[in-house]
């Protein structure tokens, strides 16, 4: 915040003295605002080690499965306090370990970042946890096959049973409606809140020209949904390329599948996790 204020003012100063005065004031004000705007929340206590392990695994699995690259992130709601969530520091997901996990309040203030760099887009997570008590885990990704569906107006639709949740609706978040011309990052609580409102009660949303946010009732569930979104987007694109009438899942089929959505989840999770975690 302080650095940004300095460079903004530095670019527009008309002479050295005036600039210097403004810089000094901006720095002092910036420091004050930073302290005032970011109270340090108290910790909910040690999170369940199994949850931390799953969160670390989720980061690596999503790279292994082609959903995340060097960017993107996964979070989990804290098992001890619904008003806290856990998210790795800003780091390539494949490199994430338990030491990287930072606890946040729902305004995305860190409990104790210990100097670790934080993800700029953590506000996605805080805002969605605040709006959706049912959500226990969130993925933000730039899953490549989803991008065309966020920019063409062609809706993502459920083309096969494993991605039935898409039938509940996948809205598109247009950041221009919330923030005008931005650098496309959800980098403050206002943009996070706008994104959460667009998500509504849906399982995922696409971010125009950027990526996606996927939510779910557990870490394994949100990982599975993220993988299936990418696969469905590829399959739908292939089907559309072939031409002809595409028969998507019927809403009644979607309802019946959703009633047993996570039935075989453990079977997938066990193998995905085994591939990425040390034995």
* Catalytic residue, candidates 121, 168, 252, 253: 121
Q: What are the backbone angles phi and psi of residue 151, rounded to the nearest 5°?
A: -120, -10
DSSP string over 188-243: SHHHHHHHHHHHTT-SEEEETTTEEEEEESSHHHHHHHHHHHHHHHHHHHHHHHH-
Query: Tokens in use for 236?
Result: 């739908």
Residue 121 designated active-site: yes
DSSP string over 144-171: GGGHHHHHSSPPP---SGGGGGGGG---
Please answer whether residues 84 and 105 qualify as being in contact, where contact means their C-beta atoms are separated by less than 8 angstroms.
yes
Instruction: List active site positions.
Output: 121
């Amino acid at each position: 915040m302080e650095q940004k204020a300095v460079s903004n003012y530095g670019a527009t100063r008309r002479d050295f003295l005036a600039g210097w005065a403004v810089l000094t004031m901006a720095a002092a004000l910036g420091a004050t605002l930073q302290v005032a705007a970011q109270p340090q929340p108290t910790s909910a206590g040690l999170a369940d080690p199994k949850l931390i392990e799953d969160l670390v695994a989720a980061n690596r699995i999503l790279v292994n499965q082609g959903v995340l690259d060097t960017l993107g992130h996964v979070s989990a709601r804290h098992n001890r306090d619904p008003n806290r969530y856990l998210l790795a520091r800003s780091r390539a997901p494949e490199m994430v370990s338990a030491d990287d996990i930072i606890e946040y309040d729902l305004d995305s203030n860190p409990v104790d970042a210990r100097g670790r760099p934080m993800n700029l887009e953590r506000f996605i997570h805080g805002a969605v946890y605040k709006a959706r008590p049912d959500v226990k885990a969130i993925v933000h990704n730039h899953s490549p096959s989803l991008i065309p569906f966020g920019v063409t107006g062609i809706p993502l639709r459920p083309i096969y049973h494993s991605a039935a949740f898409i039938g509940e609706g996948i809205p598109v978040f247009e950041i221009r409606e919330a923030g005008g011309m931005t650098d496309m990052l959800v980098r403050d609580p206002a943009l996070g809140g706008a994104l959460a409102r667009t998500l509504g009660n849906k399982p995922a949303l696409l971010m125009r020209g950027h990526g996606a946010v996927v939510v779910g009732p557990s870490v394994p569930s949100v990982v599975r949904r993220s993988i299936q979104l990418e696969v469905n987007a590829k399959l739908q694109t292939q089907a559309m390329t072939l031409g002809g009438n595409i028969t998507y899942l019927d809403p009644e089929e979607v309802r019946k599948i959703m009633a047993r959505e996570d039935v075989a989840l453990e079977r997938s999770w066990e193998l995905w996790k085994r591939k990425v975690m040390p034995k």
